[in-house]
Amino acid sequence: MNSSTLILLLAAFTLTACGGGESSSSVSSAPSADNGQFKSSHETGIYYSAIINGNTFDYNFGLNSMLCQSTYRDYYYETDNALIFGNPDLPQEDFQVAAGWVESELNTALTAMNMTKAEFYAARTNVSMTARDRLKQGLSTLNSPGQSYGNFTFPDHLSVFSEWEDVGAWRVSTAQDASLADIAATLIGDSHSGYTSEDQIRLENKIYVCIHEPDHLAGWGEGHLTGINIGANSNIQPFDTAKIIVHELIHTIQHALVANTEGFRVPRWFSEGQAVYLSKMRVADKSKHAEFDPTEVVSFSDEMGDTGLAYQHYGLAYQYVQEANGLDNVKAMMLRVKNDSYKMHASSQHYRENPNYILAFDATMLDMNQQALTVEQYRSNYHSYLSDYAAKP
């Protein structure tokens, strides 16, 4: 494994891996969508992920999708809302149950996020993020007006003398906003890009599901930009599977709202807290906020101790933010992280959280008293805010 692959693996784990949550006394009844069809990708042109220059790993599909990317990428079960990939030797019922979970819970997750299906797919777009990133790399070869890369031309208002932040902002925003047609024409026309067809670039407006075969429950579910990875029903099934499916689908919606070629730029406590709270998993009681410091958990590596307890407190920290601001304002802040400020920030500046997240949060979020709330204030004075919150009737 080379160093770049390892970095991608670690990035994927940081962005998408889920664990902990809650336990229950009963196993969810598994739905089954038996009205779908098994299909060959060689006939439809729809593969789990693209092979580009011999590389089969795309971190936008999560860690537990590696076999779906390399080995099980060309055989799937399709229903109205899902494309289910996995080991063809698994029982057909495993594919039908996985599809059943998506068909039964996608609307639950969208409703929890106050979004329509059309809004979700418009935010996610029908272009692979890996293709957008490859376009951004191509745009980096341009540095003066009139130069072109495929269908894209370096703008007149920028030059080789422009601030590097402005040029970087143009590259990121152009790559993020470009259409499928323009990206396809550009990458296919570049003999060095590794792309030879639009099929490698296009994302279907469906949830991509990879069935993996775990021997334990840790990491059974994983949400990412393109969909979810879940364990085979015949292999092992967690308690409250329905809530876990909703939780992971909320992660997929989060990625649609926040992710661009610069990554998924909200802290772990926020992404997991929102998914816990909106999927109706157990949230810590306000009076017990002193048990844990959730706002200190910015990345996966910050998470220590009891994971189940941590998730309950992520939910509490997020609950405060949503109750103070309302879900629509929280979503507007998330979209602002993605769209409002593409400017890079000087490397000499150090932030624990992503700078764009800090800018968006600081500019829009309020505390329970409707006073301005910043990322630093919420982290430094978290327990003071929660004490006041717990004291409210």
Q: What is the pLDDT of residues 161-188, one digit of tens each?
A: 677 788 888 999 999 999 999 999 999 9
pLDDT at residue 21 in the model: 52
Residue 290 class from Cβ within 10 Å (0-12 exposed, 13-18 middle, 19+ buried)?
Answer: exposed
Q: What is the pLDDT of residues 99-131, one digit of tens each?
A: 999 999 999 999 999 999 999 999 999 999 999
pLDDT at residue 247 in the model: 98
Please report, for the chain, the start and end positions of each structural domain, with discontinuous segments joined by +. 3-126+203-264, 129-191, 287-391
Distance of CA 6 to the CA centre of its chain: 19
pLDDT at residue 364 in the model: 97
Q: Where are the beta strands (DSSP E) in the chain?
A: 37-40, 75-78, 82-85, 148-149, 152-153, 207-212, 221-223, 227-231
Per DSSP, the residues of 16-66 read HB-------SSBPPPP--TT-EEEEHHHH---SS--BTTB---GGG-GGGH
Tens digit of each residue's pLDDT, the chain (393 residues) = 333 332 333 333 334 456 545 544 445 577 878 899 999 999 999 999 999 998 888 989 999 999 999 999 999 999 999 999 999 999 999 999 999 999 999 999 999 999 999 999 999 999 999 999 999 999 999 999 999 999 999 999 887 667 778 888 899 999 999 999 999 999 999 999 999 999 999 999 999 999 999 888 888 999 999 999 999 999 888 989 999 999 999 999 999 999 999 899 999 999 999 999 999 999 999 999 999 999 999 998 998 889 999 999 999 999 999 999 999 999 999 999 998 655 545 444 567 898 889 999 999 999 999 999 999 999 999 999 999 999 988
Which residue from 144, 176, 181 is spatially nearest to 160, judged by alpha carbons?
A: 144
Distance of CA 385 to the CA centre of its chain: 29
Which residue from 230, 315, 318 is spatially nearest to 281, judged by alpha carbons?
A: 315
pTM of the model: 0.91
pLDDT at residue 113 in the model: 99
Q: How many CA atoms lie within 13 A of 3 on its CB side?
A: 0
Q: What is the CB neighbour count within 10 angstroms for residue 309?
A: 15
The alpha carbon dihedral of 31, 36, 39, 43 has a sign of negative
